[in-house]
Chain A
Amino acid sequence: MPLVSFSEQTKGDLILLAQLKPPHYKEFIRVAVELTKNGASPATNLALRKAAQTAGLADEERVRRATDAAATVLTECAKASVAEADFAEIVASVLQGTGATGGGGATASANAAALGEAAVTEFCGIMGEVYGANKAELRRVLGESSFGLPKYTDLEWRLDVPVATRCQRQLPVQPLYILKLHINNPSAPSPASSSAAASASAASTPSLVNDGPIVLQADPLTISNMCAQLETAISQLKASSTRRVMRNIH
């Protein structure tokens, strides 16, 4: 059973949300999902104000907290990849004041007592439906908000033999590989802002990964050494020690 815990404030706010009429809290939940997926926008602010008006809620703070509570519950469960059946149970336990991680506070349990069985079931059902419909999307959005690392996309290679240079003619025949490595670096500074940042960071990190493909060269011997290293790396994934670690993490 995955551990998903919510603060007392969130639990209290969720209970207050559930105390509204079904059509009203449906609208709040819908706006909460919208806010999580796409962030705040004039359209969502307008929808929120309309929903508050229809529900007869004048207190802006309460409206905001109710929406936040719904959003928090949905995102925390999506983050932990909670199954739909478990999700309904978690919401029910919050509303009934028992809570997944132990009893709620005095106010929470007092408010929970005001909700009937039927109301709780209906609320959980609606939240469950919304969760099921949006879980994949929510996980995608959450995944994107984590930082990205430079990622390999492509390698082009070319075999050259230098014949002459400005300072030397009749060079000995020494084949040379020219490699073009394409790397997708999501955290690379944009060209406009890079000049100051680059000069500051160039002294500390000699990394060559910026926007755009990187051109490199290598001897044939280095390339075969690299192949040997990469073969070892690839075979490690299927090694017994790695499989053991994978089994234990799961």
Chain B
Amino acid sequence: MNVPEEVVRGIATLAEGPLAADAPFHGLVDCTFAILTRERPKECLQECKPLLTVDPIIVKQGHSVLVSIVLEAAKENLDVSALKGLLEDQAMKPANVEYVCSRYEERVMQIRGTLLSHSTFNFPHIVALDWRLDFYIKSNSIERAPCPVYFIRLTTLETGGKTGFIEFTCSWEELQDLLNKLKDATKQVERSAAAFS
């Protein structure tokens, strides 16, 4: 597992000292995982009862070490054994190692699905398409035979949750062209799926 030196050294705060005791350790691990899966806000660490007896700086250090290790393991989608190996190498109590690993196994998919997959950039993602058919009859400068015009609006979602719109017009022929291109694109997925299976 690719973890920086200072994090490996920092595991000592979890292996020895006030955090190694059962109640504070369990409290710290539970809070950390709850924060990573967004079940509880960051402040829950200060409100956690068993941790109130421990020096806040040590709590912070322990928390940041745990977060680094868990996120690194989740990023690489590592097996529990890798995490176990790393913690045992730093002389952590076997019971504590077991506790961390079982929590990791329960939560890794959730962490990957929610926190990590949203920590990347994307192009605006199309979520909806609305259309409208109008007849253009006349304007202030010219009158003409009614010609149909389509108004298309694409709703997009950007990283950060902002909604955007893309609006454009097209004629019947252009819309037909757009549809043919999209149909061709959908067929490609089926062809590729068939090729891979």
Q: Which residues from A are CB-within-8-Å of B152?
A: 152
Task: Determine chain B's interface SS by DSSP, over half rule.
Answer: mixed
Query: CA separation between A223 and B142, bound complex, in Å?
Result: 38
The count of residues in chain B whose C-beta lies closer than 8 Å to any C-beta of chain A is 55
Partner of A215, one of B123, B129, B131, B143: B123
With A179-B126, A217-B125 as given contacts, are A142 and B141 in contact (CB-CB < 8 Å)?
A: yes
- CB within 8 Å of B: which A157-194 residues: 157, 159, 165-171, 175, 177-179, 181, 183
Query: CA separation between A224 and B172, bound complex, in Å?
Result: 19
Query: CA separation between A9 and B16, bound complex, in Å?
Result: 101
The count of residues in chain A whose C-beta lies closer than 8 Å to any C-beta of chain B is 58
Q: Which of B55-63, B89-97, B185-193 contacts A (4 or more CB under 8 A)?
A: B185-193
Q: Which residues from A are CB-within-8-Å of B186?
A: 220, 223-224, 227
Query: CA separation between A225 and B130, bound complex, in Å?
Result: 11
With A146-B141, A206-B163 as given contacts, are A167 and B119 in contact (CB-CB < 8 Å)?
A: yes
Partner of A175, one of B76, B143, B165, B192: B192
Q: Which of B4-12, B32-40, B175-183 contacts A (4 or more CB under 8 A)?
A: B175-183
Q: Which residues from A are CB-within-8-Å of B165?
A: 205-208
Please tell me if A79 contacts chain B, counting CB pairs below 8 Å. Answer: yes
A interface residues, Cβ below 8 angstroms from B: 79-81, 139, 142-143, 145-146, 149-153, 155, 157, 159, 165-171, 175, 177-179, 181, 183, 205-209, 214-218, 220, 222-227, 229-231, 233-234, 236-237, 242, 245-246, 249-250
Q: Smallest Cβ distance from B143 to chain A, in angstroms?
A: 5
B168–A151 CB distance below 8 A:
yes
